Amino acid sequence: APVIDGLTGEQRVFYGWAQVWRTKSREAEAIRRLAVDPHSPPEFRCNGVIRNMDEFYDAFGVGQDDELYLEPE
């Protein structure tokens, strides 16, 4: 895929994934959702998935010093 606006095709896929799960809520609403929603909070549904994908590490050059780095088992 071509580089568009400085992003590779792979990077754009991960940006799109993050945008799908992007949310903003007040603390009280986040707490309420934890109590009534059977799903994990959006940040875990997004970041918890991508940090387990080698393609994410390759696309962004994620390394040990990066926040989303997950030590291989």
pLDDT tier at 64 (50, 70, 90 boundaries)? very high
pLDDT tens figures, 22-56: 999 999 999 999 999 999 998 899 999 999 999 99
pLDDT tier at 73 (50, 70, 90 boundaries)? confident
Cα separation, 63 vs 69, whole angstroms: 6
Domain boundaries, the chain: 1-13+41-73
Cα separation, 35 vs 29, whole angstroms: 10
